[in-house]
A and B are shown apart, each in its own frame.
Chain A
Amino acid sequence: DVKVTQSSRYLVKRTGEKVFLECVQDMDHENMFWYRQDPGLGLRLIYFSYDVKMKEKGDIPEGYSVSREKKERFSLILESASTNQTSMYLCASRLGGPTYEQYFGPGTRLTVT
């Protein structure tokens, strides 16, 4: 079974802090994704990566950056957390193109106070 793990289920940070969200997958998937999920807005793509050291902006990259130094790990960085970044963050991985299913981690519920 593919497993996608996220470093924290719940996280509380203060405004202005630098926040790291880690995602690890164990199935040698090429593609990895970070989404945020907000009530009424559904899932929105923040960043994605199709290979190590490669990253592409999604629909809402402002205020975020990512790092993919190893194939299995994709990190989301909030450079200076703000209250409007309070959200559920979901990581996903996928073996290949969009005909493959995406495997999601359990999510990190981040609260910025």
Chain B
Amino acid sequence: SQQGEEDPQALSIQEGENATMNCSYKTSINNLQWYRQNSGRGLVHLILIRSNEREKHSGRLRVTLDTSKKSSSLLITASRAADTASYFCATDAYGGSQGNLIFGKGTKLSVKP
């Protein structure tokens, strides 16, 4: 049951540029989370935004949430080669199965030095 869908599937930028990834989902949510996965490794939590929040910052990360459009975006400013990874959004479908997170398929970001 796919809830979040990231866009684009892949993104290639130069170091220092900003990277924007989008996530769309289908049903109402309580919160939305973003995770990063370095190649062949486990996922690492980046940031959580609640349904009553519109924007949240953490270091070089900025997340927005538009519940009317059922979409979120993750902006990484001044990207570095170390930001090369796959990025996933995860939602808990409101009233859904016991609060399990549903992950999208991810955006693969490549930051070239």
Residues of A within 8 A of B (CB): 4, 33, 35, 40-43, 45, 48, 50, 56, 58-59, 88, 90, 92, 97-99, 101-107, 109
Of B12-20, B41-49, B63-71, B72-80, the stretch lying at the interface with chain A is B41-49
Question: How far apart are the CA atoms of A48 and B99 in the complex, in Å?
Answer: 11
Interface class of chain B by DSSP:
strand
Question: Please, which residue of chain A has its CB at the minimum distance from the CB of B43?
Answer: A104
B24 CB–A CB distance under 8 Å? no
Min distance, Cβ A3 to any Cβ of chain B, angstroms: 11
Question: Using Cβ atoms and an 8 Å threshold, which residues of chain B touch A92?
Answer: 42-43
Known: A42-B2, A42-B104. Is A98-B42 also a contact (CB below 8 A)?
no
Question: Using Cβ atoms and an 8 Å threshold, which residues of chain A touch B42?
Answer: 4, 90, 92, 104-107
Give the tally of cross-chain contacts (CB within 8 A): 60
For this complex, 24 residue pairs linking A to B, each with C-beta atoms less than 8 Å apart, are: A33-B100, A42-B88, A42-B103, A42-B104, A42-B106, A43-B43, A43-B103, A56-B98, A58-B100, A88-B40, A90-B43, A92-B43, A97-B99, A98-B31, A98-B101, A99-B30, A99-B48, A99-B92, A101-B45, A102-B45, A102-B101, A103-B45, A107-B40, A107-B41
Question: Using Cβ atoms and an 8 Å threshold, which residues of chain B touch A107?
Answer: 40-42
Question: Using Cβ atoms and an 8 Å threshold, which residues of chain B touch A45?
Answer: 100, 102
Chain B 74-95: CB-based contact to A (< 8 A → 1; otherwise 0): 0000000000000010101000
Known: A97-B99, A98-B31, A98-B99. Is A43-B41 also a contact (CB below 8 A)?
no
Question: Using Cβ atoms and an 8 Å threshold, which residues of chain A touch B2?
Answer: 42
5 extra interchain contacts, Cβ-Cβ under 8 A, other than A42-B2, A98-B99, A99-B30?
A42-B88, A42-B105, A99-B50, A106-B41, A107-B42
Question: How far apart are the CA atoms of A47 and B100 in the complex, in Å?
Answer: 10
Please state if B103 and A104 are interface contacts (CB–CB under 8 Å): no
Question: Using Cβ atoms and an 8 Å threshold, which residues of chain A touch B102?
Answer: 45
Question: How far apart are the CA atoms of A49 and B1 in the complex, in Å?
Answer: 19
Question: Using Cβ atoms and an 8 Å threshold, which residues of chain B touch A90?
Answer: 42-43
